[in-house]
Amino acid sequence: MTELLKNHVAGEWVAGSSTGVTLTDPVTGEALVRVSSGGLDLAHAFGFAREHGGAALRALTYVQRAARLADIVKLLQAQRDDYYAIATANSGTTRNDSAVDIDGGLFALSYYAKLGASLGDVHALRDGATVALSKDQSFSVQHVLTPTRGVALFINAFNFPSWGLWEKAAPALLSGVPVIVKPATATAWLTQRMVADVVDAGILPAGALSVICGGSAGLLEQIRACDVVSFTGSAQTAATLRAHPAFVQHSARLNVEADSLNSAILCADATPGTPAFDLFIKEVVREMTVKSGQKCTAIRRAFVPQAVLEAVLDALKAKLATITVGNPRNDAVRMGSLVSREQYENVLAGIAALREEAVLAYDGSAAPLIDADPAIAACVAPHLFVVNDPDNATLLHDVEVFGPVASVAPYRVDTAPNALPEAHAVALARRGQGSLVASIYSNDDAHLGRLALELADSHGRVHAISPSVQQSQTGHGNVMPMSLHGGPGRAGGGEELGGLRALAFYHRRSAIQAPAAAIDTLTQTTHPATA
């Protein structure tokens, strides 16, 4: 029988009491390891994290906690080869796709380690300037941020077992809040191994970092008013979480990142043969195929001027035809598998649903898989659809297929004086009911600024690209720790990262109304909430 991975709770490694769930290689079907959370004393686990892990973290200053993050980065970097091997075996990713998850997580950690080093040897932050409450200036108010005295529970998705952990844990630990992570079962191995390496190295105080692999039953029942929960997953599960007494009755904080029908818009001036057109084509293909399209930020809808629809389809099909699919261990493979046969069936069902109103413009499944058995491997080739009437379409704007699938749709260019040429495309993008990101492509930098503002109300991030930044731009789907990650409406209404903004979720804001001398003392013992 395969190895049973242990959980780390209350400062100890504990094996689940049940046989557990077996994790498999999504390409070969080989059994890898098992996970189980059966029989864990969750009340003790959460209590220990609050009382011991939290107290020990809060005793450290921001600078000291930042130094611990830097030590974690060094430790994890030394073990990168092991993490890459686990990612290939458990997630079916190529080395380049594994880097998005593993190196992306390390980059987020490193960023917050450096950011935290600028916050000073203090235990609280000032939020804004002191404001007088009396005419003689003797009585004032100063807003402060202090770490919440609870735990941060992370319920994470299957597609980013490394980045999903560290992009949340870095600002939480820097804030002085202990972390309990519940990774998605299908790909829990990498998360568990990274946590094990950090815990066994003794970098953090006991109870500061815990991992629970397996089922999530009973976790929310442990949440108290001072705790925070961050969830990444489906909108359906998020709706269930929101109705839980932990949030309805106890008002615990909940951050949600859910489904998102992200868009890419080819601007009216980006005609075939121009650099912006080529950048658009390259990015759509990249977002369809990186991690086999299993990214919450991937491009699902591409809106292009009606006049260039056929040119766009021809260019996309030509590039998609170069994508080889199969076993990521084979150097000839550019795109690996989905994380499981369950996801394989979900993606096929999504493709079948889109066929009801869209035309399949490209089907990569005609090419044989490389070094993989199609009866076993969870490999799906790229599929590109075209929706000729996006105004009357519904599935285009409602169905997210979490795989290498995207749809192209034409928009009407507004040629009236002073009109926004892409106004119709903006309206179509908004049909997604709130998205994590939209990207826009133009040869005119100034025009990008105008269009970005039109999209900002319904998107957590707008990625504006012109030839002037083709070498420096970070990519439509890459979430940088300096930028906000989250989105309104359907995308969950949550916010993560965004530099120091991420720390706000793990702090409580309070207004200190006091005499001038008290405010002076407070100022001397805190640091501005800006780097």
pTM for the model? 0.96
Distance of CA 345 to the CA centre of its chain: 23
Q: What is the pLDDT of residue 259?
A: 86
What range does the domain containing 419 cover? 263-491
Asked whether residue 329 falls in the same domain as residue 238, the answer is no
Asked whether residue 173 falls in the same domain as residue 212, the answer is yes
Asked whether residue 476 falls in the same domain as residue 512, the answer is no
The catalytic residues are: 257, 296
Q: What is the pLDDT of residue 531?
A: 63
* Beta-strand runs (E) in 398-442: 405-411, 435-441
Q: What is the DSSP letter of 369?
A: P
Asked whether residue 41 falls in the same domain as residue 173, the answer is yes
Asked whether residue 411 falls in the same domain as residue 442, the answer is yes
Asked whether residue 166 falls in the same domain as residue 305, the answer is no
pLDDT digits (tens, 9 = 90+) for 308-332: 999 999 999 999 999 999 999 999 9
* Beta-strand runs (E) in 70-218: 125-126, 131-132, 139-147, 152-155, 179-182, 209-211
Residue 420 in tokens: 């926004």
Cβ-Cβ contacts under 8 Å for 156 (sequence gap 6 or more): 164, 165, 168, 181, 182, 183, 184, 191, 232, 233
Asked whether residue 63 falls in the same domain as residue 168, the answer is yes
Asked whether residue 501 falls in the same domain as residue 456, the answer is no
Return the CATH number at 356.
3.40.309.10
Q: What is the CA radius of gyration of the chain?
A: 24
Return the CATH number at 86.
3.40.605.10
Q: Given the structure tokens 């390259």, which residue do they identify?
A: 282
Asked whether residue 204 falls in the same domain as residue 292, the answer is no
Calpha distance 63→225 (Å, rounded): 28
Calpha distance 507→476 (Å, rounded): 30
Helix, strand or coil for residue 14?
strand
Q: Is-contact 95 87, C-beta < 8 A?
A: no
Asked whether residue 322 falls in the same domain as residue 439, the answer is yes
Asked whether residue 170 falls in the same domain as residue 96, the answer is yes
Residue 155 in tokens: 């319920």
Q: What is the pLDDT of residue 529?
A: 87
Degrees, nearest 5: CA angle 170-290-194: 35
Burial (CB count <10 Å: 0-12, 13-18, 19+), residue 473: middle
Q: Of 391, 396, 400, give the one whose Cα is nearest residue 427.
A: 391
Tally of domains within the chain = 2
Calpha distance 215→35 (Å, rounded): 9
Helix, strand or coil for residue 496?
strand
Cβ neighbours of 63 (radius 10 Å) = 15
Q: Of 205, 175, 203, give the one whose Cα is nearest residue 56.
A: 205
Q: Is-contact 437 487, C-beta < 8 A?
A: yes
Segments of the chain scoring below 70 in pLDDT: 531
Asked whether residue 412 falls in the same domain as residue 521, the answer is no
Q: What is the pLDDT of residue 1?
A: 74
